[in-house]
Chains A and B, each alone.
Chain A
Amino acid sequence: MIPSPLAKVNLLRSLFKILILVLILFTSLNAEEFNIIYFDPDGNLRNITSLQSEGNKYFQTISPEINFFVIASEQILNTEIDRLKPQFMIVQSLYYSRQKGSLGFKPYFIFLTKENYFYHKKIITMSLEIKTLDDLDKKVVASALPKEITKELTGGERNWKILTVPKDMDALMALKFKQADAALVAENSLESFKKLDPADSQNINPIFTTKSIFLPLGVSTKFTTNKELLAKLTETIKKIKADANGSAFIRMMNFDDTSDNKKTLGSVP
């Protein structure tokens, strides 16, 4: 039986509709989410909601597919990585060093503060009896870093009682109010404290300086599949300082700019 011309038209219409549906399905499958996670236990991760909102505002100008997540604890991060499968991460350098193999990190940029890409922390004390790290045996050390990182930065397992505080300023106050025998704080926090309390600052003695801690890095991961968006993202971030949203976002993270200097990136252990 020969189909009538009307039936042919209807058949073509149906085929066309199916084609459109397949195309929509294909496009939606391709428009997978591009998740970015920011994790820096030594950074400004307290005001998570605002930071996340500021970050999303910036990243979604690059592509609406990007979702930005701020995660404060390593424990949460370990579970969220499997769920979110981040195609890009901004991570603390110590975490980068530990996980670059297992998470397939490839660095693209490093953050800068006052043109520096690293900082130091110091162990300080107000006790005249404490002169070396060994003198801190069984003593209380206040630190705003997780215990494992505090240990890593100060030469491994020690018989210290670590008082975990939210901020360097709290660690300094623990020292002032004799709730800690020593504190691990960043150099710039110590400088701020000197301005606030010149009298007590005179009694502060640094007894140890950590190795250089690199500022956080922007890295692709083993989950990165959207190379096109990765290229767009990393190219756009080069001009982050010139962008109003970008500049507000990095200011909130307490950074000034980014650098993609290969030599610097290569020197991060």
Chain B
Amino acid sequence: MKIVFLSSLLSLLLLSCQTPTRALDEMKFQPGKKKVFILVSEQISSFEVVKNSFMEEGKNDYQFLSLNLDGNYEGIEQLPAQIKKLKPDLILCIGSKSLESVAGKIIDTPILFAMVLDYQKFHPEKFGNIAGVSLSIPPETVFYNFKNYFGEINNYGVMTSRDFLQTQKENKQRLSNASINLTIQETNTPDDVPSKYEAMKKYIQALWMVPDPKVISEESFLFLVDSTIADKKSFIVYSEQFVKAGALFSTSPNYSTIGSQLAIKSQQILEDRQKPSQVGISPVIGTFLTVNKTTMKKLGLNVRMDGIDQIFE
């Protein structure tokens, strides 16, 4: 009995010590269908949704091998060589670390990526073999969805640090074509949020919060929740967690659609023989909309709820 217990314990220990790359040694594609290797950085539910949706769409045409690094990046430098040995027709990277491990190290196989917040830092355009779906939702998508429920609201404000100032200026320019006015306040620390908000509030009907760590802190977010409600302004955010915490409305990515977008890109590369550089990097198309009903009541709003994915009270 003791021996069985000890040997089980030993196997468990060996398994936990195994580097993710070792798992690749045992992987092998079968002859036949085109081969797609999926590399996932971490065990995150949204990553799984993307992967499953992609595999579901491609299940009749491709065979898949998949490795989840599970946040263990030991021996990651060996990954490119080991993946090359598998001779995949296409590599799908889900998560930042997975893209980092192959970008520029595998250049003769098409690479698709998703769920990478700051993909620009890997300079995908430099290699010509990388395409993907970015995590950014175009501001038009945010405001059209918002207006679709909350009506003719055209004056929005955004606080942004210097890092994203140029992007917001470009957004402002583009949004003016749709008669949307975006007031920008450069804000380089969360401590400045109260004064910057005070400075812009008379010009705006709604405040738009974007992912910018130099603007958002727990304190600055809660200040904006209270202030926007007190001033009867709508507060639009980028994640349902913020709506749960009191903001009015969020538009975030629908992860299943990202899988569908990736499946189409893989068909364009593998079936239509398009180059990854032609296929390009796309914004998120599918959206997940949430509303906080309590905040809505505090603002004196009453809107239809059909098509809203989640309602918080």
Contact = CB atoms under 8 A, between A and B. Distances in A.
A1 interface: no
Interface in A157-175: 161, 163-167, 169-170, 173-174
B310 interface: yes
A6 interface: no
20 contacts: A44-B305, A44-B307, A46-B307, A138-B272, A142-B285, A161-B264, A161-B267, A163-B257, A163-B285, A164-B57, A165-B257, A165-B285, A167-B307, A170-B254, A170-B257, A173-B287, A174-B285, A193-B144, A196-B178, A254-B304
A170 B177 contact: no
A253 interface: yes
Contacts of B261: 163, 179
Nearest to B152: A195
Interface residues of A, number: 31
Nearest to B287: A170
A26 interface: no
A196 B147 contact: yes
Contact of A167 (B147, B272, B287): B287
Interface of A: 44, 46-47, 49-50, 138, 140, 142, 161, 163-167, 169-170, 173-174, 176-177, 179-180, 192-193, 196-197, 199, 251-254
Contacts of B177: 199
Contact of B309 (A47, A174, A252): A47
Contact of A196 (B148, B283, B304, B311): B148
Interface of B: 57, 138, 140-141, 144-145, 147-148, 177-178, 254, 256-257, 260-261, 264, 267-268, 272, 282-283, 285-289, 304-311
B177 to A, nearest CB: 6
B311 A176 contact: no
B309 to A, nearest CB: 4
A166 B260 contact: no
A177 B286 contact: no
A169 B305 contact: no
A165 B178 contact: no
Contact of A169 (B144, B268, B304, B310): B144
A174 B141 CA distance: 10
Given A173-B138, A177-B285, A165 B304 contact: no
| A50, A167, A251: most-surrounded residue (chain B CB, <10 A) | A167
B306 A254 contact: yes
Given A47-B308, A177-B283, A165 B138 contact: no
Given A161-B264, A161-B267, A197-B144, A173 B305 contact: no
Contacts of A192: 148
Given A161-B264, A196-B147, A196-B148, A252 B283 contact: no
